[in-house]
Structure 1
Amino acid sequence: MRSLKMMLLLVWMTALSGCGYNTLQSTDEQINGSWSEVLNQYQRRADLVPNLVRTVQGYAKHEKDVLLQVTEARARVGSMQMTPELANDPAALARFQAEQGKLGSALSRLLVVAENYPQLKADAGFRDLQAQLEGTENRIAVARNRYIKAVQDYNLTVRSFPSNLTAMALGYKVKPNFSVENEKAISAAPTVDFGSSPAPAASAAY
């Protein structure tokens, strides 16, 4: 009797393996790991913002509008619940992507403004922060691409026969993914006109 149960268990496990169970497990774990790295790199960028704002503010105090945009964008990102569950909610993921895109755009604007201040550009602290930011943006791009690929592999398994039968039986569903083209549009750095109207008096500091 015991040997019969073991044989049935072996047959059942083999059937699951042949129907994509193991692939579902491995691709789901790849998503979890990739998402953690995405959050880690976005947090790394957010952590650089306060020091970057303070450094620029020391040389370009009257650029209050740009500094305020960066501070507010960083605050909105910081107020979001960056949890593993966020990646499974299409609306929440879209909001997360939009806010991260706006922060990236604000940071790009800040760096463009910095080009107008030779002393700021020569500051060793600023150069170090700029290098860290550039490196972080590269790591974000790599982490995002890995996450996008992991979700694509998982979703393909969920949709494909016969693994889709296993997915339905076990409750695995298609996951939302980043929209790369949309974020590129959001993150596009605008043209900075230094002859524009005066900046607002309000400012924010970290």
Structure 2
Amino acid sequence: MITEILIIAAIILGLLFVIIYNDLIKQRNRVENAWAQIEVQLKRRYDLIPNLVETVKGYAGHEKALLENVTKARAAVMSANGVNETAEASNYLSSTLRSLFAVAENYPDLKANQNFLQLQKDLMDTENKIAYARQFYNDTVMKYNISIQTIPKNIVASLSGFGKKDLFETPQAERETPKVEF
């Protein structure tokens, strides 16, 4: 009788292990998919930037340093490895693009150029998609990290090598409230 109870208990524990393991696999794959969605949007932004820079060059050629910074920031995003490095490079690129659009305000002909306006719209749409993808990624990572840290999933996670994932974070400098002066 005791042997039968032990066998049934072992079967139940085995099934529980398999169910938890499969759930952790699903969650890890969701995290990887969420990261891939960020990369898709970063690639879209990466592809739009050369056209934007070329359009601005035609009107604001003497803004060479700014255009070079945008190009360097673009390259940094594509060569970044991992969540933290990509987040930092992506945030720097966003900042250089804001500077580029601010400079464009000084060129009325550029602001009226249909190609520039369409590129600006496409880039802003992409920035919104990146922001959404970052939020979705962080939500997915949070759920995954909670799963691998709570009982009983933490036992299966530690036995199976599931590790904590990094969140996509905003640098401290961008968290501060901007000063607005009139």
Counterpart check, 1:153 vs 2:154: no
For residue 11 of structure 1, report the CA deviation from its aligned partner.
Answer: 3.4
Is there any run of 5+ residues in structure 1 with no aligned partner, and where?
87-92, 192-206
Q: Distance in 2 between matches of 1:67 and 1:97?
A: 21
In structure 1, the residue matched to 2:67 is 67
Counterpart check, 1:117 vs 2:117: no
Q: Distance in 2 between matches of 1:189 and 1:43?
A: 29
- Is residue 98–residue 183 contact of structure 1 (8 Å, CA) maintained in 2? no
For residue 64 of structure 1, report the CA deviation from its aligned partner.
Answer: 1.1
Counterpart check, 1:185 vs 2:177: no
- Is residue 80–residue 96 contact of structure 1 (8 Å, CA) maintained in 2? yes
Instruction: Report the AA paired with residue 145 of structure 2.
Output: N
* Structure with higher RCO (Cα < 8 A, 6+ apart): 1
Q: Deviations over 1:90-144 (max 9, x none)?
A: xxx3222111111110011000000111100100000000000010001001111
Q: TM-score, normalised by structure 1?
A: 0.76
For residue 156 of structure 1, report the CA deviation from its aligned partner.
Answer: 0.1
Q: Equivalences for 1:52-131 in 2 at 5 Å?
A: 52-81=52-81, 86=82, 93-131=83-121
Is there any run of 5+ residues in structure 2 with no aligned partner, and where?
none
In structure 2, the residue matched to 1:89 is none
- Is residue 52–residue 126 contact of structure 1 (8 Å, CA) maintained in 2? yes
In structure 2, the residue matched to 1:144 is 134
Q: Distance in 2 between matches of 1:22 and 1:176?
A: 21
Name whichever structure is richer in helix by fraction: 2
Q: Deviations over 1:127-185 (max 9, x none)?
A: 000000010001001111110011000000010011100101111111111113x2771
- Is residue 23–residue 157 contact of structure 1 (8 Å, CA) maintained in 2? no
SS of corresponding position for 1:126: helix
In structure 2, the residue matched to 1:11 is 12
Calculate percent identity across the aligned residue pairs: 37
Q: Distance in 2 between matches of 1:157 and 1:78?
A: 31
Give the direction of change, closer, same or farther, for the CA distance of 1:183–1:133 in structure 2 (3 Å limit).
Answer: farther
**Count of equivalent residues:** 173
Q: Distance in 1 between matches of 2:99 and 2:90?
A: 14
In structure 2, the residue matched to 1:36 is 36
Q: Distance in 2 between matches of 1:189 and 1:56?
A: 27
Q: TM-score, normalised by structure 2?
A: 0.85
